[in-house]
């Protein structure tokens, strides 16, 4: 398979994994966001993923992937997944499958102001739950979409610069600026595990959630709730019945560790690129 095909498969495997506490999976839907929406979103993102593999700029490929993902009835299914996947796909394609933290770091550090503008344009396709911008830069609020582009251009901010501004409060931005540390660690865990790949991904998800509080949960519910969710995930490690109970509880409470799911999808991609077979 090509890197773009592996990325699309990673999105499908991520949503098929279960139990994945608080997230849509093959056994659980949310009130207005269903399993089928994620399947359609994964397929819709394909053109943007192929653009990344063919050498398109990161921002352009990402914006196109998000636009295609948005063509289903559920809204935002995989915005965060695509934010971490697109540079990984580009790095894999540029290095003939030799995907390393150094390779993807070169990709993200070479992004431009135009990439940042395309990133902001992508917010016009779907509603994305984000934290407030830095207090000293309200004009950079991503929720402004295209209206924020002049501020980006006047400051000369690349997409990597934008990620640096958010890294202290957003887990996906932290992956960009930290060598995709958690992505590659979770990929190693998936490669070293055995059994069906969706089951491996579910275990990797639970480990990721237990090890660090989810930043989407922090944004939506506060740090105390995020810390509690990580503690509950830690308690459920190695106990599928406990993980199932936690999954049901978080869905019922509307607590969605979505950033953890994003990193799981990225880890699946790396694992597939490294030879994990489905």
Show the domain range for 31.
Answer: 3-273
Structural domains of the chain, count: 1
Task: Find, among 249, 251, 215, 254, the residue nearest to 232 by Cα.
Answer: 249
Give the list of residues 6+ apart from residue 154 with CB closer than 8 angstroms, or none: none
Length of the chain: 278
Domain membership of residue 278 (yes or no) is no
Region of poorest pLDDT, from 81-85, 134-138, 210-214: 134-138
b/e sequence 1-15, b meaning 16+ C-beta within 10 Å: eebbebbbbbbbbbb
Q: Is residue 36 part of a domain?
A: yes
Structural Rg of the chain based on CA atoms: 17
Residue 241 CB-density burial (10 A; 0-12 exposed, 13-18 middle, 19+ buried): exposed
Q: Is residue 224, in this structure, part of any structural domain at all?
A: yes
> Is residue 221 in some structural domain?
yes
Residue 236 inside a domain? The answer is yes
Can you read off the two tokens belonging to residue 178?
Answer: 């930290």
Residue 2 pLDDT > 90: yes
**Residue 64: inside a domain:** yes
Domain containing residue 247: CATH number? 1.10.4200.10
pLDDT digits (tens, 9 = 90+) for 135-181: 667 888 888 888 889 999 999 999 999 999 999 999 999 999 999 99
């Amino acid at each position: 398979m090509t890197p773009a095909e592996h990325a699309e498969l990673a999105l499908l495997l991520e949503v098929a994994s279960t139990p994945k506490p608080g997230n849509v999976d093959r056994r659980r839907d949310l009130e207005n966001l269903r399993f089928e929406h994620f399947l359609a979103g994964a397929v819709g993102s394909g053109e943007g993923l192929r653009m990344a593999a063919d050498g398109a700029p990161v921002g352009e490929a990402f914006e196109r992937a998000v636009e295609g993902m948005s063509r289903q009835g559920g809204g935002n299914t995989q915005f965060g997944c695509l934010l971490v996947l697109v540079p990984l796909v580009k790095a894999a394609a540029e290095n003939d499958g030799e995907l390393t933290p150094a390779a993807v770091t070169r990709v993200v550090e070479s992004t431009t102001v135009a990439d940042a503008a395309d990133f902001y344009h992508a917010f016009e396709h779907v509603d994305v739950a984000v934290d407030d911008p830095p207090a000293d830069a309200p004009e950079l609020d991503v929720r402004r979409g295209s209206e924020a582009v002049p501020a980006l251009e006047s400051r000369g901010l690349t997409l990597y610069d934008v990620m640096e501004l958010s890294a202290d409060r957003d887990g996906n931005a932290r992956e960009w600026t930290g060598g995709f540390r958690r992505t590659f660690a979770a990929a190693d865990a998936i490669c070293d595990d055995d059994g069906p790949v969706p089951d491996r991904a579910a275990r990797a998800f639970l480990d990721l959630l237990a090890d660090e509080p989810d930043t989407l949960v922090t944004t939506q519910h506060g740090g105390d709730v995020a810390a509690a969710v990580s503690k509950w995930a830690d308690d459920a490690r190695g106990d599928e019945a406990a993980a199932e109970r936690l999954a049901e509880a978080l869905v019922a409470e509307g607590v969605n560790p979505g950033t953890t799911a994003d990193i799981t999808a990225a880890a699946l991609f790396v694992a597939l690129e490294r030879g994990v077979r489905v």
